[in-house]
Chains A and B, each alone.
Chain A
Amino acid sequence: MTAPTATSIAPPTSVSPTPRQVWTRTRGLVLALLLLIAAGIVLATAHSGAQHGRLDPRSADQHGSRAVAELLKDRGVSIRVATTLEEATTAVGPDTTLLVTAPDLLTPGQQRELRAATADSAGRTVLLAAGPPSVDTLAPGVRTTSTGPVAPRAPQCLLPAAHSAGNADTGGFRYTADGLETLACYPSGGLPTLLVVQEQASGDTALLGSADFLYNSRLDSQGNASLALQLLGSRPHLVWYLPSLADPSATGNSGDTDDSTGSEGADNDRSFADLIPSGWLWGTLQLAVAAVLAAIWRARRLGPLVTERLPVAIRASESTEGRARLYRKANARDRAASSLRSATRTRIAPLLGVSPRNAHSPEVLLPAVSARLSTIEGGLDTVLFGTAPADDAALVRLADQLDTLEREVRTS
């Protein structure tokens, strides 16, 4: 019972793959996966410059806006970056400029809320590239028409900022406003791409057809920097609103989740999950982990299923049974009766001393039977050589009569 002697000669019997085999099998897959990840990283770095950090005051990218933010800071304007609607609306005030970088990305509810906050604030609101989805709500009375190319354009208006800035890279959406007190600048094809709408309470809303002049890459050309500084630096505080998906007001019915509606709305919104203690939830989560482990435990089979080559199972009597059912279906009483009669005749002939050859001839068989039996119900010749039964009952009766006949021949 100690170390066996023949171990070194014994051929390996294991059929499980060795680690080397596992590595050989999976290395291609692993390599492909690594290549995929590497390609993904390379592609991401190569293409990230285009839109990453667009109009972000912290981004030094081509399309970032750190340059203008630095310039504004140098001029004593405090910049506060807001990513949620709540941050943006609480910060607005008479001495504040609110820059909305992507008004089209706001949901209708958010737009309404923003408009409600800015309308009476007496501050300035700058909307960059506000298109049809947002312009109706954020600047009532203003309509937008088709877009034009971004190109250096002359101000051609009385707005001091535009006037002193001179030519600037503008374009994009073009605006019209009827019946409002507006200043229209930088026209493209006759329609302005910069529209300043005077609001009540000394506030104003500036709509810009495109945001290109705020990009780091464009700020130094034309009068872009000047225009940006004057539009955004007119008040000591600047709220730089970058709409984001993390904003809770972007999801759900954001129009109602205002501060003022919190008390009554929250009670209705709290789901069942909010009401049960967190311990139960975490305990259940741990139980789910246990369930997964139990599933793994039960799912692992102790070796694969063993198959067996099964022999065919054909009943030898199948064709006879099939013939019986065919007779039944076709109501082949004549066939059935003749084969029953023939079988009985074959069986009784040797008992009566009739040769098998003559068993089916009435001239020989009938006298031999009548010599042994006096008579039988239905008549001997009818039972042994009669016509086909008229109905099923007659067939059943015939079978019984044949049985009786045979029994009597045997016992006589």
Chain B
Amino acid sequence: MSDEIEKRINEDYKWGFETNIEMEEFPKGLNEDIVRLISKKNNEPEWLLDFRLNAYKKWLTMKMPDWTYFKIPDIDFQDLYYYAKPKSEAGEGPKSLDDLDPELLATFEKLGIPLIEQKRISGVAIDVVFDSVSLGTTWKDDLLKSGVVFCSISEAIVDYPELVKKYLGRVVPTSDNFYAALNSAVFTDGSFVYIPKGVTCPMDLSTYFRINAKETGQFERTLIIAEEGSYVNYLEGCTAPQRDENQLHAAIVEIVAMDDAEVKYSTVQNWYAGDKDGVGGIYNFVTKRGLCKGRNSKISWTQVEAGSAITWKYPSCILQGDYSEGAFYSVALTNNKMLADTGTKMIHIGKNTKSTIISKGISADDSENVYRGEVKIMPGADNARNYSQCDSMLIGDKCSANTFPYIDVQNPSGTIEHEASTSKISADQLFYLQSRGIDPEKAISLIVNGFCKEVFKTLPLEFSVEAVKLIEMKLENSVG
């Protein structure tokens, strides 16, 4: 009987299993030695160690942000492991994914990401990050034939040091914020993408982040460089075991787009969110920013935020090139006791720049869901345009939704439109669907999916199917 109950509870978060594998860990806690150890482990050049140490020194002087709508619990940064790597992958240099520890292969197979060659998903290249390290990247050699570099950032540091040195920390400076400084000091791995001039990346690129080790923080760093006239579609997914302790994930993603380049970045964030009483779950404190450096460049962020106990995340665009375009499409779903403070920043610097913000917040149970966004039009940004739409939907009467849009216009030729709405799923809508034979859970999920449609349609098809399923699963127990 209790087995049955346990099974049902576990079904709520089917990605919540643990992989039993021997790990190599650095001692707990954070100090200069740990920073040096991480750098040494990755065979990093001197400049990168300096970069890390600088960031670490800055971080020591900074404080956790306290302006979120809700209180973020204190985190003991000395009580975390900053580096954890499967022992079986301890050998030097990259090796074939086919030779990975069978435990790891089985783990990713279970997560729906087969890694061995004959089972790989075609049309998508995947970099898999397990705790502190990238285990490998599929289709790497095939991509290289088109000139596309897709590998772990630790490999890029060794193989493409000039590119990394030129761009690392240029979009998100080390002192940008508390978690960015922390990440800059201790990032262990992540993904690196370089799309050369004029190349349309022949397949979608994707990174899958898996946290497995206990009491370990995951600090990964992604750098995407799109040269003139190039195009890439990038996808990100993430899951973690179901545990009673909170775990920290503090990532940085930096994107640079040159003239006429376009980068689409999509995330389905499904970190473990804690149980219904708010015990456990990932703290997801992430800095993502894109620089539209070139004329007519485009960067779009699409995110489906459905997991994490606390989300603090504002994927942003700096629209530096004239005629550049930034977009942010977001669905943030909170249920149980989840807290989300998420949104975007659109900084218009170049002339005739354009930004679009579509944010859909769904709150259920006792959760709190905040949209926080800033649109800034700098003095030189003639004819800048922004359109923002922030809609919130409440399910039940114990949750809350808040919208904090900040608008700063320093050029009179700018056009800013902002629309916002808050709705409750109406009893009439539910009854209408039910009177056609659709059960209440399915009815809610239909209404919610309709509500999110403008965002889902910006996702690649498979991701959008996954997002719909995920939202459905999340809401299953939230229908009163």
Q: Do A and B come from one complex?
A: no
